[in-house]
A and B are shown apart, each in its own frame.
Chain A
Amino acid sequence: MSGKLTVVISQAQGKHPVKRGLEESLAAALLLEPGIDLSIVPHLVDLQPGHTGRLYLEGVTGDVVILGWLYPRAAFWLLDRIGVKGQEGASPMHPKAEDDEDLTEEEKAELADRPPAIGPSGAIPDRVITCLDLRHKDKHEPYVEEIRRILVETRSRRQTKQAQQAADRAPVLMELGLPSTGTNGNGPAKSFSAEELLQAPPGRRWYPVIDYSRCTNCLECLDFCLFGVYGADGDGRITVENQDSCKKGCPACSRVCPHQAIMFPEYKTAAIAGAPVGAIGGLKIDLSKLFGGGVGGGGDAIALAAQERDRELVKDGREAVGLAAGIPKRQTDRAPAARDELDDLVDAIDKLDI
């Protein structure tokens, strides 16, 4: 059995020399790896409908490894949104938030306490999609090593499955020394040239990505966003209906989401860009807040979200609504939470003469 693994490098936006350098050395190394089908596409966020890179991804049916400049969770659910579905592959490179040893007991309890999520829609094909974050290491070797590990897993899973299938259909006579018909369920039916795959997207895109492993379908985002980005599908499930109605740079709805299920993969704050909450690991930290950016930003996510929304409304020539529209009721229903350490810190910072 050939048992190939499809590996896709999703390029960084812009022409950052260090990032390009890693992409190139990684591509060069992977081309020499046996058992791997390598392709390079632009940044996943920018793949608009009809882009060759997107058509290619849609056509791949076997296991896939995606290497990109975004959090694995964001990459996985972004692919889900464009119909590239599968089981989420685990990688020791990116431990799950739940497995982070640095978590406090409270954080663990909070994770365990999550309300049931609605999960991805439709049928999930029996294949594994593993997303690796290229910001994690600055050398290509660890990625190549990890891809080798995934390839071994892919093959053993396929063998198990084939053995299972063979057992299921025994004793039908079919082993006649002929190659099995059909494909080995792997690459896309249609092939594209490297140039086609890399065709420059017309522009950078900006839109939310929903993590359905967290989303409870509370529809607060639908109420909050006044730009018509969200909608509900035939089954009443929340979807990002009009991606391109979203306002560039505005992450307000992700602040409103009570379950941190909304990600903006390109946003500067790790928690909004799809970092596993509480785990930063070796990833790059955004120090803007510490270096003087956003001074005056309050500690209240809802107030901040409303501010951000107002800014976009005014840009559009509409009236600012402040907290008067689409603000989740839980804010008023709930008794004010006891002050915690963070409240005190935020107040202390507000008081600082800066």
Chain B
Amino acid sequence: MSEDQVFAIGKHRAHLPGNFLYASTNHLWAARPDGSGIEMGPGVWRFGFTSYAIALMKDVYFLDWSLAPGLRVRHLEEIGHIETSKAESGLYCPASGILLRINETLLEDPSAINTDGYGAGWLYEIDCPEAPNHLIDATAYRKHLEDNWEHTQRVLKGGINSISDEAETQGDDNG
């Protein structure tokens, strides 16, 4: 297990607890819903926004899923939409499998994402038939954030009109 990590965004400090794994492409954390740790393997994984994602988005206003539990999802497929005080974004699936459960409370009141992002603010659970090996630990995730910070700032500044917004359907390319 990795040590807890911190990534500084200006004055804000995003905490990346060591007892979670991270889907770096989607800025989601992953953990076993039964609290049995983060040992890699197939089965049910629970996902939620990292404090880094929340720091970019600020207060969540509105969360919308285009899928219902029981349906098959593919890695990086667009599965929903979020609107916050600062941003809006499509939401993309962090792993392939069956969407098992959605945190229904958030549909009525998404504030738990901001107040308890690593706990009550969890988003959904996916039953993965194959181990989602692309998940990385907190140290690697912090490094990913550092390495991409410059690009991120450019995207935040807008004006890059060569960026595609279409969620290209991607197979499992993480091997």
Q: A-side interface residues toward B, CB under 8 Å? A: 16, 18, 138, 249, 254-255, 260, 267-272, 275, 277-280, 284-301, 304, 308, 341-342, 345-346, 348-349, 352-354
Compute how far the CA of A319 lies from the CA of B27 in the bound complex, rounded to whole angstroms: 38
- Asked if B168 contacts A270 (CB within 8 A), the reply is no
Cβ-based interface call for B15 (8 A): no
Residues on A with C-beta less than 8 A from B150 are 341, 345
Compute how far the CA of A268 lies from the CA of B84 in the bound complex, rounded to whole angstroms: 15
- Asked if B76 contacts A295 (CB within 8 A), the reply is yes
- Asked if B161 contacts A298 (CB within 8 A), the reply is no
Cβ-based interface call for B25 (8 A): yes
Cβ-based interface call for B51 (8 A): no
Contact partner, B168, options A18, A285, A295, A353, Cβ 8 Å? A295
Interface size class of B (residues with CB under 8 A): 35 or more
Interface of A is mostly: loop
- Asked if A291 contacts B27 (CB within 8 A), the reply is yes
Contact partner, B162, options A275, A304, A345, A349, Cβ 8 Å? A304
Minimal beta-carbon separation of A209 from chain B (angstroms): 15
Residues on B with C-beta less than 8 A from A301 are 161-162
- Asked if B62 contacts A18 (CB within 8 A), the reply is yes
User: With A18-B62, A286-B87, A293-B89 given, is the CB distance from A278 to B157 under 8 Å?
Assistant: yes
Residues on B with C-beta less than 8 A from A298 are 162, 164
- Asked if B158 contacts A275 (CB within 8 A), the reply is yes
**Which 8 pairs between the two chains have the least Cβ-Cβ distance?**
A297-B164, A292-B92, A301-B162, A287-B89, A292-B26, A294-B164, A270-B158, A271-B161
Query: Digit string of B83-115 for contact with A (CB within 8 Å is 1, else 0)?
Result: 111111111111000000000000000000000
User: With A18-B61, A260-B161, A345-B150 given, is the CB distance from A295 to B170 under 8 Å?
Assistant: yes
The residue on B at minimum CB distance from A278 is B159
What are 9 residue pairs bridging A and B, where the CB atoms are less than 8 Å apart in the complex? Answer: A255-B161, A260-B161, A271-B160, A285-B88, A287-B56, A297-B162, A298-B162, A308-B166, A348-B147
Residues on B with C-beta less than 8 A from A288 are 89-90, 92, 165, 167
User: With A295-B76, A295-B170, A348-B147 given, is the CB distance from A290 to B27 under 8 Å?
Assistant: yes
Cβ-based interface call for B139 (8 A): no
The residue on A at minimum CB distance from B78 is A293
- Asked if B152 contacts A290 (CB within 8 A), the reply is yes
Compute how far the CA of A346 lies from the CA of B163 in the bound complex, rounded to whole angstroms: 10
Residues on B with C-beta less than 8 A from A269 are 158, 160-161, 163, 165
Compute how far the CA of A342 lies from the CA of B152 in the bound complex, rounded to whole angstroms: 11
The B122-175 residues at the A interface (CB cut-off 8 A) are 134, 144, 147-148, 150-152, 154-168, 170, 174
Contact partner, B163, options A260, A289, A348, Cβ 8 Å? A289
- Asked if A296 contacts B168 (CB within 8 A), the reply is yes
- Asked if B168 contacts A271 (CB within 8 A), the reply is no
- Asked if B163 contacts A294 (CB within 8 A), the reply is yes
Residues on B with C-beta less than 8 A from A271 are 158-161
Select the residue from B83, B164, B174 with max chain A CB neighbours within 10 A.
B164
Contact partner, B76, options A279, A284, A292, A341, Cβ 8 Å? A292
- Asked if A294 contacts B156 (CB within 8 A), the reply is no
Residues on B with C-beta less than 8 A from A286 are 87-89, 165
Contact partner, B90, options A279, A285, A291, Cβ 8 Å? A291
- Asked if A285 contacts B148 (CB within 8 A), the reply is no
Residues on A with C-beta less than 8 A from B174 are 353-354
Cβ-based interface call for B40 (8 A): no
Select the residue from B61, B84, B158 with max chain A CB neighbours within 10 A.
B158
User: With A254-B161, A304-B162 given, is the CB distance from A296 to B87 under 8 Å?
Assistant: no
- Asked if B94 contacts A292 (CB within 8 A), the reply is yes
User: With A280-B157, A298-B162 given, is the CB distance from A285 to B86 under 8 Å?
Assistant: yes
- Asked if A285 contacts B158 (CB within 8 A), the reply is yes
